[in-house]
Amino acid sequence: MSMLEAAHENDIELEGACEGSLACSTCHVIVMDVNYYNKLEDPTDEENDMLDLAFGLTETSRLGCQIVAKPELDGIRLALPAATRNFAVDGFVPKPH
Amino acid sequence: MFPIVLAILLLDSNQRPCPSSSSTVPTNTPLPRRLIVAYSPSIAVFDFAVPSSCIPFAVPWTVLLRGVPSQLSALQPPLRLQILEPCPPDIRPCARPSRSLIVGRRMKGGLLFRGWKTLTSRGFCSLNDKSLRVCVIGSGPAGFYTAEKMLKAHERAEVDILDRLPTPFGLVRSGIVVNQFSRVASNERCSFFGNVSLGSDVSLSELRDIYDVVVVAYGAESDRSLGVPGENLTGIHSAREFVWWYNGHPDCRNMAPDLKCTDTAVVLGQGNVALDVARILLRPTSELQTTDIAEHAMVSLQESTIRKVYLVGRRGPAQAACTAKELREILGMKNLQVHIREADLVISPADEEELKASRIQRRVYDLLCKSATSHQGHGFAGQRELHFIFFRKPDKFLPSEDQSRVGGVRLEKTCLKANGLSGKQAAIGTGQFEDLNCGLVLKSIGYKSVPVDGLPFDKYRGVVPNVKGRVLSSDQPENVNIEQGLYVVGWLKRGPTGIVATNLYCAEETVASILEDIDNGLTASPSGSPKPGRQGLLQALEDKNVRFVPFGGWEKIDSKEKLEGQLRNKPREKLTTWDELLKAALG
């Protein structure tokens, strides 16, 4: 089960517009602990392509649909970014809320 | 990065709301509407007021309830609570709850609620429940995302989507989103009207009379022009038209670009569209045989003698407008020799700053560097070549020897200079020129939107002036009025940039504006009588003898194309003339 699916099962508001097909960045999550981030497999080029477009990207950002639950990740904490919209390919900077 | 606390509303021990200092509600505001909080096992009602405007969409918010009644205090967290939409106190609560919240933690003397308010939480609870008639002009991603969100957000919304083509979906003819959009079109409150042209079949002002809300989403169907001598020579086309041609767009069916007169094509621009057309010109046609490329283009490409494509950009690799995915696709093509000059890859401190600030640019630059070092080796005769040319801008087009078509392009070397205002670097000519011979030129310097009567238009930026999707009546900042009931979304709003998913957020913003305006009564007609909506459109089209294509008509086209495709081992064989399309849809 991916983190996106887990969020939906627990009524957590994580939008997954493309239903986990690496075609959007609405399930962008921030891994709060670097040691947990390092336990994850490197993002593929496709995931990186979509992370490029995520709002509020950080050094430990991943797409929730690509983090798959496994025992080593027990206790992982994920933060939702302040907004999941207003990304742009052309360098447009969204106004803060 | 953490959820922002936007509003803390406190209840005193008598359960009357009193705004905290962090709220934006002044103390002498009349009490907002009652909020109904439902919790398991039964519904409890509090005089707990949350002005809708305090809670923006799609952002986490926190609310603290102090002095809660003893029933709530007795329940153990995690509690599942739902906040129903604010309703006037004299009528039934609306049936549709908003997203449920989970109690974060118990605070001293209260319960902390944390959650999201999403567009889907917008329910309507008026006994006088009026239909909302919406017209979306344009059925590409922007139009469809808008329709989808309007239908979800408003239970009584009827959305009609218009398109001048008989086929919906705009530039996205296939893929995952099309399945999603087909579901939207199948919604009983949604109707598709193809073959209806804004301006000639029905005017914008007519539509504004017929519908409560009109959203223009018709994208960009024209091109920026270079404005250099020789631009009208035969053999110079816009990349947009070339893409329409090989994708089977009926407007470019007879474009007939000559791919046999030369071995060299020059593409001006280095965005994703430029890469697309370069790829089509260089790909072995055997690979194209199982795609849905238009048959007439397939034949032409099979006979093509083009073996070299130059991608020419005014600025450097640190400013290239393409994105990593598309670049990887073209650089990864088999048997393609990619040429990038090492000297062009040297970056200045200003470039370094730009790359630091943009992850997208950084990944593109890294890919170009990697490609320059790895693609060495000898070519064979007739091998396909892709050349990235940086720091060159077109000065003029040169005719061929017999003067019948383009024979080359004169390029001026550029250097980059910081533009103080925008922070970006601009390309400045240096007065040094060189010529590049070619027989085909594709200009890929940006799409442009086309203005229509009755629609305010910013000619310089090529978009409809707007604020968060609300159309403004003038592009002069001093003299601005909001056009009631008129909204814009997609490329027509932002300019022709971004990818399909960009429209998701764009549509969210515009729909949020629409819903806010509806809430504030700004879309009601002055006479108070309801607008005719779909019936009105049908009448107007009948009066003008317009044979519109319903979604079922598109489904007939779709079936026919797929059937024809099966015979040729392709996913579909597109119908590429207006006659064929209309015959399949309506005949």
CATH of the domain at B366: 3.50.50.60
Identity of the residue in B80, B118, B360 whose CB atom sits nearest the CB atom of A52: B360
Asked if pLDDT for residue B570 goes beyond 50, the answer is: yes
Contact A80 B502 (CB under 8 A): no
Higher-scoring residue by pLDDT: B402, A95: B402
Does the residue B193 lie in any domain? yes
Judge if pTM exceeds 0.90: no
pLDDT in tens, B174-223: 666 788 899 999 999 999 999 999 999 999 999 999 999 999 999 999 99
Condensed to tens digits (0 to 9), the pLDDT of residues B541-553 reads 999 999 999 999 9
Q: Do A53 and B360 touch (CB under 8 A)?
A: yes
Range of the domain at B341: 222-375+382-447
Note whether B403 and B280 are same-domain residues. Answer: yes
The C-alpha atoms of residue B488 and residue B495 are separated, in whole angstroms, by 11
Question: How many whole angstroms from its chain centre is CA B170?
Answer: 10
**Topology of domain A3-79, per CATH?**
Ubiquitin-like (UB roll) (3.10.20)
Confirm whether B89 is domain-assigned. Answer: no
Same structural domain for residues B345 and B418? yes
How does residue B410 score in pLDDT terms, banded at 50, 70 and 90? very high
B56 vs A contacts (CB less than 8 Å)? 97
**CATH code where residue B196 lies:** 3.40.50.720
B141 and B184, same domain (yes or no):
yes
- Is B473 within the bounds of a domain? yes
- Position with higher pLDDT, B459 vs B10: B459
Q: Which residues of A touch B424 (CB under 8 A)?
A: 91
Do B228 and B245 share a domain, yes or no?
yes
CA nearest to B82 within chain A: A11
User: Under an 8 A CB cutoff, do A82 and B363 touch?
Assistant: no
Q: Does A48 touch chain B (CB under 8 A)?
A: yes
What is the rounded CA–CA span in Å between residue B258 and residue B351?
Answer: 39
Residues A97, B4: C-beta atoms closer than 8 Å: yes
The number of C-alpha atoms within 13 Å of B238 and in the hemisphere containing its C-beta is: 14
Measuring CA to CA, which residue among B488, B489, B516 is closest to residue B503? B489
Per cent of chain B over pLDDT 70 is 74
Chain B neighbors of A51, CB-CB under 8 A: 359
Assign 3-state DSSP to chain B and report helix, strand, coil percentages, each to 5: 30, 25, 45
**Token code pair at residue B424:** 């970006």
Q: Is A15 on the interface with B (CB under 8 A)?
A: yes
Domain spans in chain A, listed from the N-terminal domain onward:
3-79
Instruction: Answer whether A9 touches B (CB < 8 Å).
Output: no
A80–B3: do the CB atoms touch at under 8 Å? Answer: yes
* B505–A97 CB contact, under 8 Å: no
Number of domains in chain B: 2
Asked whether residue B120 is domain-assigned, the answer is no
Q: Which residue among A13, A24, A58 sits closest to B99, beta carbon to beta carbon?
A: A13
- Collect all residues with Cβ–Cβ distance below 8 Å to B298 and sequence separation of at least 6: B285, B288, B289
Query: Under an 8 A CB cutoff, do B497 and A89 touch?
Result: yes
**Is there a contact between A49 and B80 if contact means CB atoms under 8 Å apart?**
no
Distance CA B142, CA B469 (A): 12
- Proportion of chain A in helix, strand, coil states, percent, rounded to 5: 25, 10, 60
Please, which pLDDT band fits residue A82 given cuts at 50, 70 and 90?
A: low
Averaged pLDDT score across all residues of chain B = 80
What per-residue confidence (pLDDT) applies to A18?
A: 73
Q: Is A82 on the interface with B (CB under 8 A)?
A: yes
